[in-house]
Structure 1
Amino acid sequence: MIDFDALRRHPDLEAPGLAASDAADRLILDEASSALAEATSPREVVVVDDAYGALALGAVDAGAREVRVHQDAITGERALAENAARLGVPEERRPHSMPFDPALVEGARVVLMRLPRALDRLDEVADLVAEHAAPDVRVFAGGRIKHMSLAMNDVLGRWFDRVDVTHARQKSRVLVASGVRRGPETRPEGAPRPARGYDEELGLEVVAYGGVFAGTTVDIGTRFLLGVLDEAARDAATAVDLACGSGVVAAWLARRRPGLVVRASDRSAAAAASARLTAAANGVADRVQVTRADGLEHLPDRSERLVVLNPPFHSDAALHTGIAEHLFAEAARVLAPGGELWCVWNSHLRYRPLLERTVGPTRQIARNPKFTVTASTAAG
């Protein structure tokens, strides 16, 4: 049996209280054990949104061959690869990371997944599986009970004839979906993928795949930041949209400043794909370069005049400042002397001392009852 205690989150955030696997992973594998034993042919098992490899490596340990995996976060992909090597899984038996497209699930008979917190993400996964997996596919989707809702049953019930709910164990539960439904009647009219929305105030079209922060809306922190961003590094030839999400900041900057090249990045595959489509929808795809990356690993040191950031303040479901600390450090590394990090953050998080230590002298640009916008200047 797989040694769950040996798994690590690296290169993602590692800190006390943040584990690489939990009781939900173990319950999913236990509930799927009979199905895994029956899936004896190669490529019959698919794993979706496995955090750090517990499900994929558990499936391999159960005998599954040529396991296909999609993890939205690039750090999750890398953690899976490191954990496979750490556990001594032979190269030929290691899971294969794949994009989120029909080839991922084609012919699959068993799908293991962690339930996403966003229902639109669950809907996208269920749609893909129902349309392209084998007719007798079974989906084992689990999570911590505190993060589950009855609406998840309803979403799966749109795509499958049967949704069974397992007994709870260690505050976890699994939904088992079977009996695929196929055809146009399963897709709600007016709900194309990805979703599209238009923000009247900003004059921007926003495109977003399921699970991307704020979806097709503009969150209030980003809107507050955009209200003052005209003052940032006006003469910069390039700018960076770090943790870009759906690409609202990148598209807004490129439209606002003709000739500016914006380098957007996000560790999420869904976010990066959304940002590319948002740029195209607003006519600036030629000046918005989107990269799926861990922070700004793709950019050289001391190379940029302006970095813009609305940092996440959670790692998966856990609130933790470590994500912001990592992104601040990446901005500090990439900023040229005198360059600035413009950042919006929830005021109660009190990031200013951390920004001072990590990036450099920090001044307040704007503040309202909920958010603060600061500009931090990199040392020469």
Structure 2
Amino acid sequence: MPEFPYSRLRRWPDVEAENLQAHDATDLLLVARALAEAGERGLDGTQIAVIGDEYGAVTLALTDAGLRGIRVHQDLATGRRALARNAADLGLDGFASHELDAALLDGARLVLLQLPKALAELEEIADAVARWAATDVVLVAGGRVKHMVLAQNEVLGRSFSRVQAQRAERKSRLIVASEPRPVSETPPFPVSAQHEGLTLVAHGGAFAGARLDIGTRVLLDALRLASRFLSEERSDETKGVREPGKDVLDLGCGTGALAVSYALAHPAAQVIATDRSAAAVASARATAAANGVADRITVTQDDAASEVATASVDVVLLNPPFHLGTSIHTGAATRLFEAAARVLRPGGELFTVFNSSLGYRAELTRLVGTTEQLHRTPKFTVTRSIRRP
């Protein structure tokens, strides 16, 4: 059998750069282990589930090897689109995408996992495997050694009686978990927490969990201080364009803190909240429901607001990421600035919070329009950009 053409895989629509690849050594180790397990245990593709396959390297390599019917869960919309595109480019099919639920794992005897960054996400995944997969399931989790911690073994040990770390190869390592433990009647996620009248609900894969992260808190404080920009006291540049704040987009909404806070403060507003993470979308929907504003917030999984109409919103709220997976890369923020510029009406406003060291103000001015600083702390800066005509 010819070697799978990993080099043909692309990250698109995710950021692409010379130092960002669509596969790594962990993918190769997972594939090799899966093929060995399938051969030794007589598994077919319908008994295999793949979780966290960033751009489809594991799923497509196994499909190419003849394992049909694999079930796959990718948290990110970018990963789902990259998998579909890579599959089409290679002429491969015979796999099915699922959410992290019983349909993904029912009857699965082998689960392959690219280890997530967050221990909470790993805990939710491990519980789901123990809860819904076959009783003889083997979970093979892999990651880059430099990003692995002993706590990951401890988390897996809560759901599995046997957890064995394998020898590192090519700076990656596999952890094999088996013999699932009995699960509690209620899954450990989502969790919730109260924050000064705001209830946040979070699944394990949602950024910051049920906490109100510092950047979001700073942006919310700045919006309260700058409420004149969202009232009748408009600048000459935006006065008369449209009644302010009617159509609002929380771009990269996470658990929905910004979207829900805005909806609570502005009862006439209709809010769209989008995020590329399935865990974030589920969390934001639950947060909206917990705060009684689900009827005014539409939450969708999307990449960089690709499904939001051009020039259709008055206000964009944005707390952009500056990581792509485990890599620090400003490209993710740039894509969101471009998206904000596209969806804002002329005179519409983009409120952004970012790490002060990143100095995004010039880029926001270039991509969106006139940008001013509203608030600054030792760590974060909040800006307001006016969409040029």
Counterparts of 1:87 and 1:298, CA distance in 2 = 26
Tell me the SS of whatever aligns to 1:176. strand
Alignment: residue pair count: 371
**Residue 269, structure 1, aligned to residue 272, structure 2:** no
Residue 124 of structure 2 contacts residue 188 of structure 2 at CA under 8 Å; is this kept in 1?
no
Question: Partner of 1:34 in structure 2?
Answer: 36
Question: Partner of 2:163 in structure 1?
Answer: 163
Residue 288 of structure 2 contacts residue 297 of structure 2 at CA under 8 Å; is this kept in 1?
yes
Question: Partner of 1:43 in structure 2?
Answer: 46
Map 1:49-68 to 2 at 5 A. 49-68=52-71
Question: Partner of 1:98 in structure 2?
Answer: 98
Instruction: Return the offset for 1:39.
Output: 4.4
**Residue 224, structure 1, aligned to residue 218, structure 2:** yes
Counterparts of 1:30 and 1:82, CA distance in 2 = 23
Match of 1:7 among 9, 30, 35: 9
Gaps spanning 5+ residues in structure 1: where?
none
Instruction: Return the offset for 1:193.
Output: 1.7
Counterparts of 2:137 and 2:269, CA distance in 1 = 48
Match of 2:20 among 1, 18, 21: 18
Counterparts of 2:345 and 2:382, CA distance in 1 = 21
Counterparts of 1:51 and 1:308, CA distance in 2 = 27
**Residue 83, structure 1, aligned to residue 76, structure 2:** no
TM (norm. structure 1) is: 0.95
* Amino acid across the alignment from 1:45: I
* Amino acid across the alignment from 2:114: R
Tell me the SS of whatever aligns to 1:213. coil
Residue 36 of structure 1 contacts residue 59 of structure 1 at CA under 8 Å; is this kept in 2?
no
Instruction: Return the offset for 1:303.
Output: 1.3
Residue 159 of structure 1 contacts residue 181 of structure 1 at CA under 8 Å; is this kept in 2?
yes
Counterparts of 1:313 and 1:39, CA distance in 2 = 43
* Amino acid across the alignment from 1:83: N
TM (norm. structure 2) is: 0.93
Question: Partner of 2:116 in structure 1?
Answer: 116
Question: Partner of 2:237 in structure 1?
Answer: none
Instruction: Return the offset for 1:42.
Output: 4.6
Residue 247 of structure 2 contacts residue 312 of structure 2 at CA under 8 Å; is this kept in 1?
no
Residue 264 of structure 1 contacts residue 288 of structure 1 at CA under 8 Å; is this kept in 2?
yes
Residue 140 of structure 1 contacts residue 176 of structure 1 at CA under 8 Å; is this kept in 2?
yes
Counterparts of 2:290 and 2:113, CA distance in 1 = 32
**Residue 198, structure 1, aligned to residue 194, structure 2:** yes
Instruction: Return the offset for 1:60.
Output: 1.4
Question: Partner of 2:331 in structure 1?
Answer: 322
Residue 302 of structure 1 contacts residue 335 of structure 1 at CA under 8 Å; is this kept in 2?
yes
**Residue 249, structure 1, aligned to residue 258, structure 2:** yes
Tell me the SS of whatever aligns to 2:230. coil
Question: Partner of 1:212 in structure 2?
Answer: 206
Instruction: Return the offset for 1:53.
Output: 0.3
Match of 2:294 among 285, 296, 299: 285
Instruction: Return the offset for 1:184.
Output: 2.9
Counterparts of 2:182 and 2:102, CA distance in 1 = 14
Residue 194 of structure 1 contacts residue 207 of structure 1 at CA under 8 Å; is this kept in 2?
yes
RMSD (Å), alpha carbons? 1.4
Question: Partner of 1:238 in structure 2?
Answer: 247
* Amino acid across the alignment from 1:70: H
Residue 196 of structure 1 contacts residue 205 of structure 1 at CA under 8 Å; is this kept in 2?
yes
Instruction: Return the offset for 1:304.
Output: 1.1
* Amino acid across the alignment from 1:218: L
Match of 2:353 among 341, 344, 348: 344
Per-residue deviation, residues 324-343 of structure 1 (Å, max 9, x unmatched): 00000000001101111100
Percent of pairs with identical residues: 50
* Amino acid across the alignment from 1:280: A
In structure 2, relative to structure 1, the CA distance for the partners of 1:312 and 1:319 (3 Å cut) is same
Per-residue deviation, residues 130-157 of structure 1 (Å, max 9, x unmatched): 1111111111100001111101111111
Gaps spanning 5+ residues in structure 2: where?
232-243
Instruction: Return the offset for 1:113.
Output: 0.9
**Residue 177, structure 1, aligned to residue 177, structure 2:** yes
Per-residue deviation, residues 97-129 of structure 1 (Å, max 9, x unmatched): 111111100000111110001111111111111
Counterparts of 2:42 and 2:141, CA distance in 1 = 17
